[in-house]
């Protein structure tokens, strides 16, 4: 469980990276696995990450240029990075754990250069499995992982996920189901048959990309 949270490379972000050499800041960087995956596929000129977990931060320090071993919500990293100096900010499975994720997004968005992108991933509380469990079983028990992870403080649907990504003055580029379906997987066929009309019920998680024009 620990390795899944801190050492999983999020390959689903690869199609949404901005053009050109990358200068990357990741909030909740874990062991740095996603940044290292990006480095394998693109030219990366600088990498920085914020991470609270002790072991993950030590691991990230082995490969990232700068690691802040801090709480991403309370540490003013924007005071140490020049505005407009990065072109990719990653917030993957981190904002839902914060008391005030909107303030964090507003603080870090000015760090993006024109054409730079903020990529966030957020769980979708409108997922049909959760709705079924809530409506028919009255079940809202927190769990060790997943949508009802007991450390989740905020919950989102598509519209509120987009609002969060845009609250720092950025413009929406993409909001998509984070999962990459196999060619003939039933859910992919169902989405195609309904022209994507069931995305909000099927998606467990959204990838939201906002851009500085």
Check residue 4 and give its pLDDT: 52
Q: Chain-wide mean pLDDT for the chain?
A: 88
Average pLDDT over residues 89-116: 98
Query: Over the stretch 156-210, which tens digit does the pLDDT of each residue have?
Result: 999 999 999 999 999 999 999 876 544 445 455 555 544 455 667 778 889 999 9
Query: Over the stretch 105-139, which tens digit does the pLDDT of each residue have?
Result: 999 999 999 999 999 999 998 877 777 777 787 88
Buried b or exposed e, range 46-76, using 16+ CB within 10 angstroms: bbbbbbbbeebbebbbeebeebbbeebbebe
Check residue 183 and give its pLDDT: 45
Average pLDDT over residues 27-50: 98
Query: Over the stretch 130-148, which tens digit does the pLDDT of each residue have?
Result: 777 777 878 887 877 777 6
Check residue 181 and give its pLDDT: 44
Query: Over the stretch 40-72, which tens digit does the pLDDT of each residue have?
Result: 999 999 999 999 999 999 999 999 999 999 999
**Helical H segments across the chain, by residue range:** 2-6, 33-41, 54-60, 101-108, 128-137, 158-166, 186-193, 199-202
Check residue 107 and give its pLDDT: 98
State yes or no: pLDDT of 32 exceeds 60.
yes
Is residue 103 within 8 Å of residue 154, measured between CB atoms?
no
Check residue 132 and give its pLDDT: 79
Average pLDDT over residues 31-44: 98
Task: Domains for the chain: give ranges and CATH numbers.
Answer: 2-211 (3.40.50.150)
Is residue 99 within 8 Å of residue 74, measured between CB atoms?
no
Q: Which two tokens stand for residue 181?
A: 């379906």
Q: What is the pTM for the complete model shown?
A: 0.87
Check residue 127 and give its pLDDT: 79
């Amino acid at each position: 469980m620990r390795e899944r949270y801190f050492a999983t490379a999020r390959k689903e972000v690869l199609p949404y990276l901005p053009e050109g050499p990358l200068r990357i800041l990741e909030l909740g960087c874990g062991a740095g696995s996603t940044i290292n995956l990006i480095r394998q596929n693109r030219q990366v000129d600088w990498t920085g990450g914020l991470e609270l977990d002790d072991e993950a931060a030590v691991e990230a320090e082995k490969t990232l240029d700068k690691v802040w071993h801090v709480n991403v919500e309370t540490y003013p990293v924007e005071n140490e990075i020049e505005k407009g100096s990065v072109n990719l900010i990653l917030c993957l499975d981190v904002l839902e754990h914060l008391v005030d994720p909107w303030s964090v997004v507003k603080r870090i968005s000015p760090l993006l250069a024109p054409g730079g992108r903020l990529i966030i991933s957020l769980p979708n509380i409108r997922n049909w499995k959760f709705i079924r469990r809530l409506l028919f079983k009255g079940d809202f028990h927190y769990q060790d992982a997943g949508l009802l992870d007991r450390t989740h403080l905020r919950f989102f649907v598509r519209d509120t996920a987009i609002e969060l990504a845009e609250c720092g003055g950025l413009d929406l580029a993409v909001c998509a189901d984070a999962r990459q379906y196999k060619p003939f997987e039933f859910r992919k066929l169902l989405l195609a048959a309904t022209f994507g009309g069931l995305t909000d019920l099927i998606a467990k998680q959204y990838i939201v990309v906002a851009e500085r024009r």
